[in-house]
Amino acid sequence: MTELPDRRLLLVHAHPDDESINNGATMARYAAEGVRVTLVTCTLGEHGEVIPPELRHLTGTELGEHRLGELTAAMRELGVEDFRLLGGRGRYEDSGMMGIADNDDPASLWQADVDRAARELVEVILEVRPQVLVTYDPDGGYGHPDHIQAHRIAMRAAELAVDAGWEIPKVYWNRVPRTAADEAFARLQADLPGLPFGKAATVADVPGVVADDRITTVIDGTAHAAAKAAAMRAHATQIEVAEPYFVLSNELAQPLFTTEYYELVRGEPGSRPESDLFAGLTSPEAS
């Protein structure tokens, strides 16, 4: 069997760009430390709204292929070499926002059989043998069907992997503490007149905001802020960056968090709060 790095991190996301927005600093930090960072993206984001006017002709499959190129560029910026599409290229399509006709497309992720998709993810888990899994909470952070489905698939795969021979010691959900969000938006309001963005989002627009006491783990990515911003810029169809802020297609400015926050939902914390996703893991679990 090929020898694996001592530490291995698996992230499961819905679309290209989600990984850079939610976990870019974390991914860059661990990649720089020699951790094997593996990203599984569930769709190519074929129904994303395109920001640059010169790229708005891209739709459907053509947009998905373009976004795969953006994902590839973003991974270069983060130093991540192992990134994959769940079930292979084109296996699952973007479902669009909740409540639209695209949700009913049999090819959409929202219509996927969770157990079957989870078994496809188990194949990756058995190959990589991660000690840490990162994904969304049950609401997908903000209710997007693909985010919800990515959560379901990731959590089910973690269960199925146990019987298949690998138990992931620690599972985390992406979070943002309310206090940090409130403080960041206060700074945004003060800085807004000098930004190229006309309006600000609100804390309610940020996925995964919870009470501070839900946060178990704080990853200081300050040293990797430039890599995160560069990765986000690589997703040019979806994101416009003016550090330390950015906008999506709604043109509402929001903070670019370089400290990233997590809630440990399976496994034992190494401390409270943790400053390392691998905190508390013993050598047998790293084998």
Binding residues: 15, 18, 147
The continuous run of DSSP H or E covering 146 comes out as helix 145-164
Dihedrals φ, ψ of 246, to 5°?
A: -155, 165
The secondary structure of 19-72 as a DSSP string is HHHHHHHHHHHHHHTT-EEEEEES---TTPPP-SGGGTT--HHHHHHHHHHHHH
Distance CA 62, CA 60 (A): 5
Residues 6+ apart with CB under 8 A from 104: 111
Q: Over the Cα atoms of the chain, what is R_g?
A: 18
**Dihedral sign for Cα atoms in the order 60, 61, 66, 70:** positive
Q: Where are the beta strands (DSSP E) in 169-244?
A: 170-177, 199-200, 209-210, 217-220, 240-242
Q: Is 134 in a helix, a strand, or coil?
A: strand
Q: Which residues are part of a known binding site for Zn(2+)?
A: 15, 18, 147
| C-alpha closest to that of 128 among 270, 11, 283 | 11
Which residue in 95, 104, 75 sits closest to 232, CA to CA? 75
CB 64 within 8 A of CB 94: yes
Q: Please check whether residue 260 is in contact with residue 222, taking contact to mean a CB–CB distance below 8 angstroms.
A: no
